[in-house]
Structure 1
Amino acid sequence: MATYAAEGGPSFTTKEIEDFKEVFLAYDRFHTGNIRVKELRKLFKACGQNVSDAELFHISNHFYTDGKKTISFPDFMKVMEGRARKSCHEEDLREAFTVFDKERTGRFDALQFQHVLESIRVTEKLEQDEIEKFMKEIDVNKDGNIDYEELLSIIKH
């Protein structure tokens, strides 16, 4: 079975590629092998993908930089691979988070966070003021805990 992958990224099956191509061609109104970037939201939705405004803005800007306002199928597949790779990475992070979330509360307090950092050998021993500094940076909603979304936002940036 053929697959489509770039540089060790996720692979798509032949069927998935054919499905993406079929949807892509449905949006290629002028049969040029390209679709207008402004059609991307509809294309993603037709492929069963949700795309945030921020991600759509980023993708659009990437393809506007070369003066084109269109995207080819190979470029679209690169975007899809990047999204799949990101999704796989986030799934790995969520799985790792649940391993350390022993009480299954969906969050860590400062002491649990210290144990996590020490267990993955980020540091041998953290001082209390260092833990408090980390907590202030990561605990966006200031509830005294670090939830998955807060941790993910720090890792992404």
Structure 2
Amino acid sequence: MAEASSEPTEQQIAEYRKHFNNYDFRHVGAVLSDDLGNLLRACGQVPTEGWIKERLKVADPEGKGSIEWDGFIKIIKQASVQGNPEDELLEAFRRFDKGLTGMIRASDLRHIMTSLGDVLTEDEVDELIRDADPMSVGSVNYESLVRTLIYGPN
């Protein structure tokens, strides 16, 4: 991957700063470590809890419970290197959509989320499937699921 793709544009940095400031509830130039996942999602990322924990070891090595802007921008740059999460997720799900219906079986969703990329725990997958297939019909509209994962619920 080209080095240039890992550097956010000035416009992206301004957007990240806006989101960072929105999560800086105490107005001290830092966000709570517990808010990192939500902050990254607000910035268009789709981090897993494991990925977040690994980044917190670097951004908050003393365990202060907060992350300053410099630490956050390093994390967002790492996340940006990974590419467009929406496209990557859609492509992963399409591989299981043999009929190109926009739907995949809940069992395939479980397989994807527990074995490919940053894996989720069984509890996380159970919750995801309950949310994605509330009527327990056994299939999930993955395009809607991806939008929810990236941009949050309606």
TM-score by length of 2: 0.49
TM-score by length of 1: 0.48
Q: Which has the higher Rg, Structure 1 or Structure 2? A: 1
